[in-house]
Structure 1
Amino acid sequence: MPVPKAKGNVLEVEQLFESSQRPGFHFMLLMLCGLCLVIDGFDAQAMGYVAPSVLGEWNVAKSALGPVFSASLFGMLLGALGLSVLADKIGRRPVLIGSVLFFGISMLATPFVTTIPALIALRFVTGLGLGCIMPNAMALVGEFSPRSHRVKRMMLISCGFTLGAALGGFISAWMIPAFGWRSVFYLGGVVPLVLAAAMIATLPESLQFLILKGRTERARSWLARFDPNLQIHTETRIVVQEKNSDGAPVAELFRARRAPVTLILWAISFMNLINLYFLSNWLPTVMRDAGYSTGTAVFVGTALQTGGVVGTLLLGWFIERFGFPRVLFASFMIAAAFVGIIGTVAHALPWLLIVVFIAGFCVVGGQPAINALAGHYYPTSVRSTGIGWSLGIGRIGSVIGPLIGGQLIALNWTNASLFHAAAVPALCSALLVLVLGMRSGNLQREVSGCVPDTQPRFH
């Protein structure tokens, strides 16, 4: 293939990504960021899978685990809000590597706790590291992707989270009976440390970020790794098509007429994560109480995450053809229907697995689409903040969801009533997407993104 050249004394990073085919580099980046999200999903859902065993060993009430679930999610909330902003200041690479190291060590410490208060504290600390992984991984992949493939690739690596959660169910169903619940956390701690070592050696920094921050020499170094055949000289100016933002990253989410879409994105993420984490954390325990064995109850929870993996892949394909608003509206409407009947079909395992799979397809698979929408919408200077705050505000819902579930279970609500209540946030998500589509004026076409300092458009 021809050797890429800078035009005159100027090299535009975006044009380089559009014209240069570096499959080996992109595969490496997708693998590293995807694996980050696999272990993120595994560790985020680990508590839900070990919950029945912890309840039996410690002899505590089911409602006692509500604060444990929420502590991790509250830590993820703060991590998403704080560390995503930090990444827009110092870079994706150091924050992503540091977070993986931090939560790996925290996971290794979890098996040594023996009380609910200590478990709450450690799950909160672990959540801090987990919280900023998805925003930074998605931002980094999006910034190395041609515009035509950006959404597809962000959705692809987002699939890692649900894949990790699903694998966690299968692995936990095997490891817990054989080695005890603590083995799940040992595995969830060792793998991130190995991955962090690989990231230190090979993970690149965003070239757009480096240029916008004036770190030209580092950009040249990473350009050489991206394409060793690239002809670039010391006098060549490396530029990007965006303008740097000197203001506070969070404030920038409300400038350039972004405020309405920002608020709607936050609300959609909030509603969907109430549902997602209620189902993820309580479904195995509720199904065990419905008469199933621990292994079968965990398998039902795994069906939710497996549906999410398939949903993420297929929803990305649908979004490319029909646009974010239309696909997300249909997905959340279907979710409301199928979540609502989980309790009704709980007595029939084949139907239960089908219904839970479809619910996971729409709810769990819908969340990466929301994240990809945020990543596609915001410019480089605030992309990590945009995704992180959408997730962070949404994770207020993820903290509330398990707590509400615990309280409703403590009030002896029937399974049918529990899942009828869980259908309400999905319906709210659908209505909010409808508002987003109405504001854009068209539910039929794809988001086109935003040009800095102009009004963003949803088509």
Structure 2
Amino acid sequence: MLLLSGALPLLLAMLMAWLLPESVRYLLLNGADQSQIQNILQKINALALQQNFRLEAQSRQLSALQSMRMVFSSQYLAGTLSLWLCFFCGLMIFYGIMNWMPVLFKEADMPPHLGPVVSGLFALGGVGAMLNGWLMDHFNGNYVIAVCTFFTAICVALIGPALHLSLTFFIILMICAGTLQNTAQSSLPVLAAKFYPTAVRTTGVSWMCGIGRFGAVAGTMCMGYLVNNNIGWSQIFTILAIPAAVMTLCMLIKNMYEAARDSARFSLSQQDAE
């Protein structure tokens, strides 16, 4: 199983290197041939063959230090911190529950054959991510993820009381919480990529993912601390639902910040036009 799990990503990496084109924005930024850009865009729209493309806002290559300065500039700081905290909290919830699943299954008197099934379904965020991708194309991505995390908070908070009430209800809550949380988590890098300009996109997304990884450590340690102090499962999962509520708040703050920023840009462009 471990060999198979290692071989499949290696095969995927080779296929991506061969088949996956560069971002059109990246190609334009680096002065690629128009024919290369047209070959990519014609797969979306045949009219691409009849046009030349350029970036509306010209950018330039930045050093690592310059990229970090832009990520932390006043223009992006609030969004950067919101994304970092959101990704941190998401991994805190996921690994806090995932690493303590054997104990939870024992507490719920779950039959041994159901454990691997529920564990697998808990990480079933891929299906939700496909739906989220469509929703984020048509609606405000901040709100879409906020809705996911809001319902994640509700499901996580109810896991504790459900442990000794109903095995069926417990399993449903676990699967719903995992699917919703993983859907939101897998959508965050896409949201971050849309938030940052092309020149610093990789820097912004990578730092968000890197800082967020500390949440995985914090989630496991937090659960261990609470269990060792003999805190009841209902209280533990009520506490663990707080990071999901924080994620919702972060998305709403980011949306307010972006709305204010875009409004200020529009005002400035109107003044320039006058």
Shorter-chain TM band? 0.7 to 0.9
Distance 2:120 2:256 in 1: 36
Q: Where in structure 1 are there 5+ consecutive unaligned residues? A: 1-183
Query: 1:185/1:435 Cα in 2 relative to 1: closer, same or farther (>3 Å)?
Result: same
Query: 1:316/1:246 Cα in 2 relative to 1: closer, same or farther (>3 Å)?
Result: closer
- Root-mean-square deviation (Å): 3.4
Give yes or no for contact 2:78–2:257 (8 Å, CA) kept in 1.
no
Query: Are 1:344 and 2:173 counterparts?
Result: no
Please point out which of 158, 183, 193 is paired with 2:10. 193
Task: Determine the structure 2 residue equivalent to 1:249.
Answer: 67
Please point out which of 191, 212, 216 is paired with 2:29. 212
Distance 1:201 1:311 in 2: 27
Please point out which of 129, 139, 145 is paired with 1:328. 145
Distance 1:259 1:244 in 2: 20
Query: 1:313/1:220 Cα in 2 relative to 1: closer, same or farther (>3 Å)?
Result: closer
- Residue 312 of structure 1 aligns with an amino acid whose one-letter code is A
Q: Where in structure 2 are there 5+ consecutive unaligned residues? A: 270-274
Task: Determine the structure 1 residue equivalent to 2:19.
Answer: 202
Superposed displacement of residue 341, structure 1: 1.2
Distance 2:23 2:133 in 1: 23
Superposed displacement of residue 398, structure 1: 1.9
Query: Are 1:259 and 2:74 counterparts?
Result: no
Please point out which of 178, 189, 195 is paired with 1:360. 178
Query: 1:363/1:240 Cα in 2 relative to 1: closer, same or farther (>3 Å)?
Result: same
Q: How many residues align?
A: 257
- Residue 311 of structure 1 aligns with an amino acid whose one-letter code is G
Scaled by the length of structure 2, the TM-score of the pair is 0.77
Distance 1:321 1:204 in 2: 24
- Residue 55 of structure 2 aligns with an amino acid whose one-letter code is V
- Residue 376 of structure 1 aligns with an amino acid whose one-letter code is K
C-alpha distance after superposition, 1:319-367 (max 9, x if no partner): 4454233333333222222101112112422211221222124322111
Query: 1:328/1:281 Cα in 2 relative to 1: closer, same or farther (>3 Å)?
Result: same
Superposed displacement of residue 374, structure 1: 0.8
**Fraction of identical pairs, as percent:** 28
Superposed displacement of residue 310, structure 1: 4.1
- Residue 176 of structure 2 aligns with an amino acid whose one-letter code is I
SS of residue matched to 1:255: coil
Distance 1:329 1:231 in 2: 39
Superposed displacement of residue 368, structure 1: 2.5
Within 5 Å, give how 1:7-86 maps onto structure 2.
none
Task: Determine the structure 2 residue equivalent to 1:379.
Answer: 197
C-alpha distance after superposition, 1:245-298 (max 9, x if no partner): 424322221236111211122122222221122123322442145432443122
Query: 1:192/1:410 Cα in 2 relative to 1: closer, same or farther (>3 Å)?
Result: same
Q: Which shifted more, 383-392 or 198-207?
A: 198-207
Scaled by the length of structure 1, the TM-score of the pair is 0.49
Task: Determine the structure 1 residue equivalent to 2:224.
Answer: 406
SS of residue matched to 1:342: helix
Give yes or no for contact 1:288–1:297 (8 Å, CA) kept in 2.
no
Query: 1:317/1:210 Cα in 2 relative to 1: closer, same or farther (>3 Å)?
Result: closer
Distance 1:400 1:423 in 2: 14
Report 1 or 2 for greater relative contact order, CA contacts < 8 Å, sequence distance ≥ 6.
Answer: 2
Task: Determine the structure 2 residue equivalent to 1:394.
Answer: 212
Task: Determine the structure 2 residue equivalent to 1:298.
Answer: 116
Give yes or no for contact 2:71–2:77 (8 Å, CA) kept in 1.
yes
Query: 1:201/1:368 Cα in 2 relative to 1: closer, same or farther (>3 Å)?
Result: closer
Within 5 Å, give how 1:84-103 maps onto structure 2.
none
Give yes or no for contact 1:341–1:419 (8 Å, CA) kept in 2.
yes
Task: Determine the structure 1 residue equivalent to 2:272.
Answer: none
